[in-house]
Structure 1
Amino acid sequence: MVRKEKILIELKNELIEKIDGLTYENAEETSKEVQAFFDVVQGIRKLSFEAKNVINEKIKETEDEPKIETKEIITEEPTPDNVGNIGKSFTFHRKLCGGIIPNLDGGYFIPEKMTRDMNLEDGDSLKIIDEKIIHNNETKYSFEILEKSKTVNNKRIEIPFCKVDIEAGEYVVNESLSGFIKLDEVPYTLILQERDKHRLRLKKGDIVDVAFYENNPSKVRVIWKHDIKDHPTITEEEKKLQYKHQYDKNSAEKAEKNYPVSLELFHNKKILIIGGENRHADYRNAFDELPIELEMIKGTEETKRLQSAIKRADIVTIVIGEARHRASVAAVQFCKDTQKPFDTTHENGIQSVLLCTEKAIRKGIKQRLIECVG
């Protein structure tokens, strides 16, 4: 049943967000909420639903989306029974929240978390590397990026690290870490939708990422809620991390921002950074502020040394753009084989690496939680 599967996907996404936000302080409350999710799933399983169009059910904002001509990259036509899709490639279409592969299973939805974990962008070519039939004959796929898109979707606008406020009873955002939000150089207040407010349990002071289509800011969506402590205002945050690097004017001409990370997660961790050799000194300066042990390697080392470094670490961060392709693939595979928490980034900036490391730590926490439950 398509509608049942849609509800299940939404519930799984919210469950992942709950586990991501787990701390010692909220462990008891989170445990009750997680159990409530399973109770809801058991109740829905017994109900009957009328099947509807897959794409309309999975991507509700398509009615507000500008129509863009795209070409699908398909090595073979997908088979009706979903068997034998491994090795086939498809084009990823970025939506306001998450994305979709239209020509796979009638519209295969990729949630926002997976989109972020893989650093997916509109037009990326993805190859299926694994497929599993799970409950109710639903197929779950694993992907790798075959080719990054060379074009930019300027119709979709994303503003990261916005502060939630309340004005006249409405939940709104009107400033981010970059300053006040402006459209056409005029300050603009984005009114958040009720469904996002309830789905993410938003409150005043929360830090979120929002997205909307260029000509339709009234349909803004909250696509991510960051797990940080409450602060009086964004500009008054007393962060321990105060780094800024100005890129060469001939490149992007943009400065790194003070993106928030949960400092307590880094405590006493042994962290390995693979790649990003030309920024190793900057990483050392940044991570010196944290209570961790840091090791960095180029990513060009022989296999035995690479594996030994991974074994010594608690957490592995791989800078894909700077590590040799072969080395990055070998590192990813060895981390998977040894169940070592890791994450990857295509950016070599300090804050990109910090955020990537934080993601890897959270993956490790989730992995241990699943092992305890299982």
Structure 2
Amino acid sequence: MDARQMFKETKKTLTELIEQATLVDFDKCEEGYVKTLSLWKALRDYEKWAESLFLKAPDPGSELAHMDTENKEVPEQAPAKEIRPSYVFERKLKGGCLPKLNHALLTEELVRNLDLKNGDLLYAEPKEGTYGSQPIYWYEVAERRERKMPFQRVGLGFCPVEAVGNFLVVCKSYETGELIRFNEVSMELMLQDNDIRDYSLREGDLVDIAYWENAPERPRVVYKHPVPKEADMVKTVSRKHKDRIEEETRVAEPDLTLEGKVILVVGNDAEPEKCREYFTRQGAEMLWADSKFSGNRLSGLIRKADAVVYLLRITGHGGMTLTKRLCKEYEVPFVPTWSLGASSLLAVAEEAVC
């Protein structure tokens, strides 16, 4: 029973009690009348409290409401705001996806344009048409909230493609200005056949690559930079873009200052004449040694050298201990590397003597 119903019932009871009263015993009604008034005051206070909490809208026709001359208006509530679903973006080596939206794929170009990071939230609105069997979406960034991945994605930009034998590799990045290293050792990253085919790669191209920090031996090419010809560049490229390309072209042929230096290269292979030719062009003399040489023969070559470059890919770690110890004894810089390309060896040698 609510407050208004209780008020009506007690009013009815009090009315019957008054009608039964006589001139002789009317004082018997006094106690019931006082208790009823106290109850009515309590009911009125409760009604006001309920209205203040919007538990019940005030009834203008209520007799209790007329006991208080002021009726309070209930403010209008604002309409509920529409909630747009958002989806967590998962970064891949190349492009990314939305796992909670049927693994909807985002191209590398789109990821770059939106500057997406792993963990960002995206809105996805369906568009007309499909790509194969996959629906197409229009994407918008809902919230930036980069999240760390189980294995960090390593991205390197402006890497020149080099030919080593029948393979295409990258060994440095002009974006960082440094050689590519893994566990402090410089190394070449061999490009995959499908990337070479898809991007029509050849020696001299500039590419961006990416790999997982725990698997650098499996890099992916994510972008190939256009390198316009000088004649076309003068006509069609802005001055700012032209300056950047000229700088890249200048860096692509590094000026290594090895003139007058003697570099010993240690590797279990026939003497590489191509490498010797590269060093000669820079004014340096290249010596070649096999890690299986005797200690006396190896120490004689190390004493003549200004730096020693140790080729891990074709030599392994077998003779490295002796070579490294002799270099330390004669205070000759020792640099191990996984690289085999001639230009890469030049860069490693320059780093060792500087």
Q: Normalising TM by the smaller chain, what interval? A: 0.3 to 0.5
TM-score (norm 1): 0.38
- Tell me the TM-score normalized by structure 2: 0.40
Larger Rg: 2
